[in-house]
Amino acid sequence: MSRTIMLIPIGGGVGLTTISLGMVRALERQGARVGFYKPVAQLRLGDKGPERSTAIINNATSLTPAEPLRMHYAESLISSDQRDVLLEEVVARYQQFCGNDDTVVVEGLVPTRRSPWANRANIDIAKALDAEVVFVATPGVDDAGQLRERVEIAHNNMGGDKNTQLLGVIVNKVGAPVDDQGRTRPDLSEIFEGSEAHSNASVDAIIKAFKHSKVSLLGCIPWTYDLIAPRVKDLADHLNAEVINEGELAGRRLRSVTFCARSVPNMISHFKPGSLLVTSADRPDVIVSACLAAMNGVEIGALLLTGGFQPDASLMELCKPAMVGGLPVILVDTNTWQTSLNLQAFNLEVPTDDPQRIEQVQDYTASHIDEGWIHQIVAGTDRKRKLSPPAFRYKLTELARQANKRIVLPEGTEPRTIKAAAMCAERGIARCVLLGNPDEVARIASQQGVTLGEGVEIIDPLAVREKYIAPMVEMRKHKGLTEVVADEQLEDEVVLGTMMLAQNEVDGLVSGAVHTTAHTIRPPLQLIKTAPGCSLVSSIFFMLLPDQVLVYGDCAINPDPTAEQLADIAIQSADSATAFGIEPKVAMISYSTGTSGTGTDVDKVRLATEIAKQKRPELIIDGPLQYDAAVMENVAKKKAPNSPVAGQATVFIFPDLNTGNTTYKAVQRSADLISIGPMLQGMRKPVNDLSRGALVEDIVYTIALTAIQSRQLDNVS
């Protein structure tokens, strides 16, 4: 049975798009097949289209929502007393695009002076779609008691307790800066100077006020400045600025604004990570100072030059190292005063083409919606669910939190690693140990605008190296290791981190942001060794397809495994899939399916399949299978009609490294999807390698994987 949840705003400016995004994400996390529908497009003043919520959902998720009806068309039907025609079209589009979904999130209309009929239309659409209703409200200038009264009035206006379709309310923008009328009206200066919010209601007060209300509180979303940090690109487009140096224009985010009107010594304290420095183009002292700060590692957001003066060519040549390092520099014709007014008019809503910010908004909002209620909604549907990418990522972080492991990061002075450690601590994913000089780590963290809280530990290698010499000599005495050589090897932080793992001082190790795979894996192979019963170390990648997660192995370690080794890789990969909530249906990949082909390569795959079946009779495994037969139901019916795996495989085992690595990269790049890994399998203790191009989020998820592996090994032992 499917369910339709309609979000109906109580007033304007409630952040309806944000709540829609959060609802979709919260349902996806529970493995539901989610649909989204905005019946009638409602463009904001100045918007030229497309409709924002539909465009964001279409661009940033795997959903394909219906195009909403144009506002002008809806108004013409209502004004000519053809409301029934409008509702019929709304229902027809719903059935066409959302009929097969478990749960559909429907975004209602916002009542405005231009759309006074919106409240009536919301009620009619909810009835036509047989939708359950969730109100969306924001406190504005009300205190918690006044907010509750306002919500209860809206609840009564739609039937109150007699209307069983009314589920409750989600309160958004708690603690947001508001004007005297209660409208959320932040501008750049208010946000980035950290002004106090004018809202009289707090999260705790709202929760307390609704405890005895007839309206259930289904979510309470605190306002946070982090969700509204725009890209330099967005601001440059708004100002119609000339780009003097592009740098990281599309990636850097602005978190403060400083107008550089004073002397340089009085401005230096404002040269901070994410800072937009606004200065007249004829202030070479400010330009040079900003570039010096950037060259010293401070990731300044951007340099905005006013007045229309082209900066001197020789000056720009002097500042070239900062430009090469990514500092965006933009120029506007307006003077500083007019530029400040233009900045205040900047729209801080999420752009439709900013996937990173959309992802952040979705995750943050979803995390503040009642998880028990979401689970109840999903439990009411009867479709067998696949593990979608959002559900998988959520499962990773939740399992990692439960594991509560201590993970060592040997590359402790690497900026991405420092950011990842801080994020893990903030989210409770793991307790990270950074190896590096504490002063150097603190300096780099400060330059990146990162705060290292209690969940991050910094260990100076020089202070602890000596205590690992004797244990390392003991472990490697059969290889003739001496104290002198051990001391030299321990100068390598990867070796030091591995010894900490070997001595049970940490639960896992993650490296590779600057080191090669061989550099990361060699010390653990020497000091940690393989787990009992494992003959080799292998790897898997988690491939995050739009609607499910697949496991690929081995794509990183074993160049040409034997049939026996291939069987072990299949078993290891199946066990890893199970540990992360993926039902393993293992396809042994080859260039032929079943008995259709011959040759040493396909014979190896066939033999490996038989060996794996003998070792693990309960395992759902089949091979050899061609990739298309393994993944496509229509091909499977023709090539392998009796296979328990063909057409529904979740774990793909490739015959050699050449095939596996090529396939994973081809799929990843051609389909533009995320892959997490490689995750190493078969080690006695968890060690994982990173790509040297890893993003901060990649490192975070790899740390989570490592923590979960450690817990899994605890259960085995």
Highest mean pLDDT among 440-449, 606-615, 634-643, 708-717: 606-615
Residue 689 · residue 716 · CB < 8 Å:
no
Q: Which two tokens stand for residue 480?
A: 């003739």
Which has the closest alpha carbon to 507: 497, 516, 515, 518? Answer: 497
Distance CA 253, CA 696 (A): 15
Phi-psi region of 351 (alpha: psi -120 to 50; beta: other; left: phi over 0): beta
**Residue 150 CB neighbour total at 10 angstroms:** 18
Residue 192 in this model has a pLDDT that exceeds 50: no
Q: Are strands 674-681 and 538-544 parallel, antiparallel or unpaired?
A: antiparallel
Least trusted range by pLDDT, from 313-327, 356-370, 388-402, 599-613: 388-402
Euclidean distance between CA atoms 277 and 258, whole angstroms: 5
Least confident of 625-629, 657-661, 674-678: 674-678
| 292 pLDDT more than 60 | yes
Over the stretch 105-164, which tens digit does the pLDDT of each residue have? 999 998 888 778 888 999 999 998 889 999 999 998 889 999 999 999 999 999 888 898
How far apart, in whole angstroms, are the C-alpha atoms of residue 286 and residue 409?
38
Inter-CA distances, 350 with 53, 227, 358, Å: 10, 9, 7
- Structure confidence at residue 623 as a pLDDT band (50, 70, 90): confident
- What value does the CA radius of gyration of the chain take, rounded to a whole number of Å? 29
Of 593, 676, 680, the C-alpha closest to 635 is: 593
What is the pLDDT, as a whole number, of residue 249?
93
> Which DSSP string corresponds to 405-459?
-EEEES-TT-HHHHHHHHHHHHHTS-EEEEES-HHHHHHHHHHTT----TTEEEE
- Kindly report the average pLDDT of the chain as a whole number: 88
Q: What is the DSSP letter of 265?
A: G
pLDDT of residue 195: 44
User: Residue 45 — very low, low, confident or very high, per pLDDT cuts 50/70/90?
Assistant: low
The SS3 call for residue 355 is: helix
Tell me the sheet residues that pair with 674: 544
Q: Evaluate if residue 385 carries a pLDDT over 90.
A: no
C-alpha–C-alpha distance, residues 98 and 27, integer Å: 15
> Could you read off the pLDDT of 387-418 as tens digits, one per residue?
778 778 888 888 999 999 999 999 999 999 99
pLDDT-based confidence at 717, cuts 50/70/90? low
386 band by pLDDT with thresholds 50, 70 and 90: low
pTM for this structure?
Answer: 0.76
For residue 400, give the nearest of 150, 580, 152, 268 by alpha carbon: 580
Single out the residue of 609, 655, 649, 654 nearest to residue 632, CA to CA. 649
Burial letters for 228-243: b for 16+ Cβ neighbours within 10 Å, e otherwise?
Answer: bbbbbbbbbeebebee
- CB burial readout 370-408, b (16+ within 10 A) else e: bbebbeebbeebeeeebbbbbbbbbbbbbbbeebebbbb
Measured from the Cβ of residue 297, the count of other Cβ atoms closer than 10 Å reads 14
444 to 127, 288, 409, 448, 450: CA distances (angstroms): 57, 21, 15, 6, 8
Q: What percent of the chain has pLDDT over 70?
A: 95
Please determine, for residue 194, whether its predicted confidence score (pLDDT) is greater than 60: no
* Alpha-carbon span 565 to 431, nearest angstrom: 34
Exposure of 505 in the CB half-sphere (CA atoms within 13 A): 16
Q: Is the pLDDT of residue 197 over 70?
A: no
- pLDDT band at residue 193, thresholds of 50, 70 and 90? very low
pLDDT band at 61 (very low <50, low <70, confident <90, very high): confident
pLDDT beyond 70 at 260: yes
The label of the residue with tokens 């003739």 reads: 480
- For the record, the structure tokens of 97 come out as 């695009």
pLDDT for 191 equals 45
Per-residue pLDDT band at 381 (split at 50, 70, 90): low
Query: pLDDT higher for 63 or 528?
Result: 528
What domains, with CATH codes, occur in the chain? 3-226+358-379 (3.40.50.300), 232-344 (3.40.1390.20), 389-527 (3.40.50.10950), 538-682 (3.40.50.10750)
pLDDT of 141 reads: 85
What mean pLDDT do residues 415-439 have? 94
Contact by Cβ (8 Å): 25, 390: yes
Tell me: the pLDDT tens digits for 86-112? 998 898 888 888 877 889 999 999 888
Please check the confidence at residue 179 and state whether its pLDDT lies above 70: no
Residue type, 397: T
Q: What is the pLDDT of residue 716?
A: 66
